Structure 1
Amino acid sequence: MLRSDFWRWSSDELSRLVAPAGPATSVELKVVVPEEAHAFTCAALGVDLDWAATRRVWFLDTPDLALERSGVVARLRQIGDGRDDSVIKLRPGRPVAAKRCTVEVDAMPGRLVRTTAIRKRLRHGMAESRRPWSAFFCRTQRILFASQAPAGLTIDDLVAHGPVGVRRIKVVPDGLDRRLTVERWTFPDGSWILELSTRCAAAEALEVAARTAEVLRAHRVEAIGPQETKTHATLAYFSR
């Protein structure tokens, strides 16, 4: 059993999520930093997010978040360098025989869930265009959506929750042999979410989690306070 302030699971728990998805499954380790520790954490990691390019993200859902309750995520993202995209995710996910389908395990403190996702690249600026939502998603994405969305609900029935501004930088902290992604999501009222994450192969997830937690603790980064996904935080904010 791995025991740390960051990620806790047994090899059996991880295997139950990974095995059905096949050997290509990756694990994304995520931790949300408490708001009062944002400035200290960025300084400790040598990160200045004010220099990072700004992205914008919208989530699509019903006004009462029926899609989220069903475990479906519909997202549009404007990256700014011609790589806008859309994604449909299922949480918890399952293997799907489709091109561009990825299956990975999202690991946060106290939370371990398999996610199935299909992404589509969009033309630059398309994320802001006024079109029916279905125009942003390919047929395979719409099929994945329909497989778990509430009966009768279509993508065009959804409303936009957002945008939220995102700044993102990848760094390699002292003592860590892999890149750490630092993301700051800023809401219209000025409140922030700061998330640290790294990806690895499922076979090395326990080892990478232990090492990453050790390095973050050495930088005095803490994993205390609420650990909610960026999706949930954004939907909750804009549906108030």
Structure 2
Amino acid sequence: MTGPVPVEQPAGQVPAGRPDRASVEAGHRIHDLLPVLIRAPRVDLRFVVPDEVRRPVHDALGIDPLRGRISQVFLLDTPALALTSRGVAVRARRVQDRRGQATVTHRHLPPSQVPTAVRSASSFDASVDVVPEGFVCSASLVHPVDDALVRRAACGRTRVTRLFSKRQRRFYAAHDPDGPALHRLVMLGPLHVVQHKARLPELDRPLRAQQWFFPDGSRRVELSVRCSPDEAFDVTRAVKDCVASRGLELTGDKETLVRRAVMQLLASGGAL
């Protein structure tokens, strides 16, 4: 790898408020994944590629664009982007033919800084955004939510706080005590996302591809694969080699993707 990226606070500290990128820079590279993730029960590795690459992503991965699962993603933030600027992501998702999801994510938060009771919950997810220079670790709590409730919240007919469990609300506040209260957030969107599964001969596990459609007509594809912490390094290398051999290039992380989406939604009036 070619250089360090900001990934986490020093051990034993919990990030509060907007991340100070100079202070959190730890120089972690891909080979440092295991020490950071060792306490996570499972890991999602994520890779972002543009849709305007040398070969269309669907063609490169052998995906049938008509067989994807459609979802609507609502991003929650303040008009001043208080959450996006602090490395926090809060969203609600409606999913075709399935229950929806509400998610609270703290970026730059490795599993070792999450209490054991939270880390061992079935709703906990550790994720790693793999970028050209290294990786960024995040921690999330995911909660199933009824489609009708998401729709009511999006229309302003119920409070957005009803989308989130008590554990999620505590998780949101504990790791960003100076951030805006959940009830002050507004729902932006929806963005349309289409999810596919790809099974490639180079990989021993399925690869998920989510194609995000932005208000300006551009698209980004997020690739993700699930593995155990001790597999993270090898799986990362395998996915990167597979992606490169098929003419695709990594361009950035999920934080950049979400920031772009939120800014475009605000510019378009907050809804599509």
Fold equivalence (TM over 0.5): yes
Q: Identify the residue that residue 114 of structure 1 maps to in structure 2.
A: 137
Amino acid at match of 1:197: S
- Alpha-carbon distance, 1:171 to partner: 0.9
Amino acid at match of 1:154: A
Amino acid at match of 1:55: S
Amino acid at match of 1:117: S
Hey, what's the Cα distance between the residues in 2 that align with 1:90 and 1:41?
29
- Alpha-carbon distance, 1:214 to partner: 2.0
- Alpha-carbon distance, 1:186 to partner: 0.8
Q: Is the 8 A contact 2:88 2:107 kept in 1?
A: yes
Q: Identify the residue that residue 206 of structure 1 maps to in structure 2.
A: 233
Q: Is the 8 A contact 2:83 2:179 kept in 1?
A: no
- Alpha-carbon distance, 1:88 to partner: 1.0
Say how many residue pairs are matched. 231
Give per-residue Cα distances to partners, 1:142-201, cap 9 Å, x unaligned.
111112335372111011121100001011112221111111111233221112221211
Does 1:128 find its partner at 2:151? yes
- Alpha-carbon distance, 1:124 to partner: 2.9
Shift of the 228–140 alpha-carbon distance from structure 1 to 2, 3 Å rule, reads closer
Give per-residue Cα distances to partners, 1:40-70, cap 9 Å, x unaligned.
2211211132432310001111111111222
Which stretches of structure 1, 4 residues or more, deviate above 6 A after TM superposition? Answer: none
Hey, what's the Cα distance between the residues in 2 that align with 1:114 and 1:73?
13
Hey, what's the Cα distance between the residues in 2 that align with 1:220 and 1:39?
6
Q: Percent identity?
A: 26
Shift of the 158–38 alpha-carbon distance from structure 1 to 2, 3 Å rule, reads farther
Gaps of 5+ in 1: none
Give per-residue Cα distances to partners, 1:110-161, cap 9 Å, x unaligned.
3523322112111233211121111111111111111233537211101112
Task: Give the aligned CA root-mean-square deviation in angstroms.
Answer: 2.5
3-state SS in 1 of match to 2:47: strand
Q: Identify the residue that residue 62 of structure 2 maps to in structure 1.
A: 46
Q: Identify the residue that residue 215 of structure 1 maps to in structure 2.
A: 242
Does 1:104 find its partner at 2:126? yes
Question: Please, which of 14, 20, 36 is the counterpart of residue 17 of structure 1?
Answer: 36
Q: Identify the residue that residue 239 of structure 1 maps to in structure 2.
A: 266
Shift of the 37–82 alpha-carbon distance from structure 1 to 2, 3 Å rule, reads same
3-state SS in 1 of match to 2:52: helix
What TM-score, normalized to structure 1? 0.85
Shift of the 104–228 alpha-carbon distance from structure 1 to 2, 3 Å rule, reads closer
Question: Please, which of 158, 162, 168 is the counterpart of residue 195 of structure 2?
Answer: 168
1:52-67 counterparts in 2 under 5 A?
A: 52-67=68-83
Q: Is the 8 A contact 1:71 1:148 kept in 2?
A: no
Q: Identify the residue that residue 107 of structure 2 maps to in structure 1.
A: 91
Hey, what's the Cα distance between the residues in 1 that align with 2:173 and 2:194?
32
